[in-house]
Every structure is written in structure tokens, then in C-alpha cells.
Structure 1
Amino acid sequence: MHHPTHNPWKITGEKAVYDNPWISLTEYQVINPAGNPGIYGKVHFKNLAIGVLPLDEELNTYLVGQYRFTIDQYSWEMPEGGGPHEHEPLDSAKRELLEETGLKAKYWTELQRIHLSNSVSDEFGIVYLARGLEQFEPEPEETEQLIVHKVPFKQVYRMVCNGEITDSLTVAAVLRVQLLILENRLP
């Protein structure tokens, strides 16, 4: 599909508002597409968002549960985390899977590339399918208090459809894998 490449936004100034090792926040003074002055805030993410949907031979997957500070509620998700931009994303995916579940996979397929909240941030995610699973010891980070459950994929798909799973990376991965199953194209 053809789309315009011209950027209708004009930046007239910028101010760094906040910065830490994971994100920065910049406020821009802009001329908007209608030609009027305004402001726009952008959250810059210093890492890629990485997600892994592990799927065993019996079509079970592994959900990771944790309390998410930002949304002030418990969340069930696939194994996921951040990967430095300068590292190979697949290496980050392998690390996250091992850290959170203790699993290693023989076969990896990139499922999806996704912008997670493109109205306010540049956060970009890559989601993988992991097959040929082998169990080792998990190595969670100190900030993670995780519960891991092995769950039939069909149940996880229903959880997504019922709104019980709302994490965007997990939703995208589960819907993509469901399509692959329906199309008989599951790697």
C-alpha cells in the first residue's frame, strides 16, 4: 500500500524532561500538521522489547505471572523483557526464556515486529516462537517475582480472547500462532 513519506510535523525546540538507564522523556515544541504551535512528549526506550512464546510438542505454552508496577495489577504474559539495541535480538530472546522459565529451545522463528505504543513512545518489540524445548533452572532478575505456569495453548488463546491477557506482545504472539495453527503452517 502506498503512503506519504513527508513528515508534516515541524520541531521548533526540545527539552529533556527525564532520563534513566531504560527510558528518556523529551518534550518537543512543534508546529503540528495543521500549522499550529503545540507540544508533543516522546518516551524513548533504550532497549528493544523482546517476547518469546515457548510451545512444546503437545502445544502447551508457559505463562509468566507478575505484578506490573506501571498498571498496578497482576499480569499473565509470555516470557519477555528488554534487549539492548546493540545485541542480536535472538540472543536476548534466548536469555529471557532461560531467565524466566529455565527453558532452552532448539528451534526459533521470528513471529512479529511491533510498535507497542506509537502515539507516545518509540518502543519497538520483536516476538519469537520457541520450539524443541528443554528444561533447565530459571535465573530470574532481582526485580522479578515471577510465577510460571505450563498452560495448554488453547486455554491461553481463550484468555486472550476473553481479555484476561492484555499484554500487547503476548496478545500479538498468541493471535499469530493461532493463525499459524489454523493455516497448518506452525513451524
Structure 2
Amino acid sequence: MDENRHIHLSQVDVRLPDGTEFCQYVVRMPPAAMTLVLNDAEEVLLLRRHRFIIDRWVWELPGGYVDEAEDIAAAAAREVEEETGWRPKTMEHLVTFQPALGSIDHPQAIYLARGAQPTATAPDRNETADVRWFPLTHAVTMIDNGELVGGASVAAIYRALTLRP
């Protein structure tokens, strides 16, 4: 139905085991990679941006699309640097999930970076309005308050809580 480098929209005919038939819209998107960067003080690196689809300013983890032949961990690290101006020291895969499996094929890979170094490059102002470190426990409060709403960011923060001693 429609296609570009970030999305492929199609219709498929579905037949369920009981014989029910229907037409389903299917969205396929390339993988996305996101990184939860934690420093030694258990603070998480978040960026603030406007998400025009929901018309809100929100906080979220850095992340974005994985280029066609790009290593997913390298893409996750690249996105941190481009969007925050910080370079992750380590990259550890946490989880990969599908956010809306009923109609969208869009794998989300989440990485954990323990520590980061500031770079001389400023974040892309078209992607990031502000970059700050927040205590991990405060990020949970931001979820509760609706300041941090992206599914992958929420999943990553809750996953990070399970890694604490």
C-alpha cells in the first residue's frame, strides 16, 4: 500500500483456525535500538523532545533506527552520541521485544551502558531539546507522572530496576 525506508504498510488476508477470514493492515519497520545509560551514581541519561504524533514534550532514552547493514549495538551507541553528546563506555544487551505485535513488526533492542564520556559534539537540536541525568528511581516517578511515556523507555527503566542488588 505504501513504503519508504522506515515503513512498509500492507494488507494481508488472514484465515483463523476456526475459518474466520478478515483483512489486516500490517506495518513493518526496521529494528530500533535504544540505550539506558547509567552512571556510577545510578543516574539515567534522558533527553527531552517533542513528539508531534502525541503533541507532547516527553523525556526518553536515546535511540533510533538501525541502518540496513549496521550492527545493532553500534547503532544503539551511535544514537546515544548523536542525541545526547555522550559516548557510552560499555554496551550490554538487555532485551529485544515487539511493542505492538498484533499489527506492527518493529523489533526494539534495548542496551545497557554503564558509564559514558562527554564528547565535543553537541546533540542534534532537531532531536533533543535538553539532556539530563536523573536518579533511576526518579525516572520511575516520571513514568508515573506521564513525563516519560515511550514504551521502550518504560520497559528499559523497569528492566534496569531488576538488575539492582
> Do the two structures share a fold, i.e. TM-score over 0.5?
yes
Render the CA deviation track for 1:52-94: whole Å, top value 9, x for unaligned.
0111111111111111122222221011111124311011011
Of 35, 40, 47, the match for 2:24: 40
SS where residue 175 of structure 1 aligns? helix
Residue 66 of structure 2 corresponds to 83
Identity among equivalent positions (%) equals 28
* Deviation readout 1:75-118 (Å, 9 max, x if unpaired): 21011111124311011011001001111122221111111111
Structure 1: distance between partners of 2:42 and 2:27: 37
Give the match for residue 24 of structure 1: 8
1:97·1:104 contact (CA, 8 Å) conserved in 2? Answer: yes
Structure 1 unaligned runs (5+)?
1-16
* TM-score, L = length of structure 2: 0.91
Query: Runs in 1 of length 4+ with deviation above 6 angstroms?
Result: none
1:63-102 superposed matches below 5 A: 63-102=46-85
| Contact 1:27/1:41, CA 8 A, preserved across alignment | yes
8 Å contact from structure 1 (residues 101, 137) kept in 2: no
TM-score (normalised: structure 1): 0.81
Match of 1:51 among 30, 34, 37: 34
Structure 2, unaligned runs of 5 or more:
none
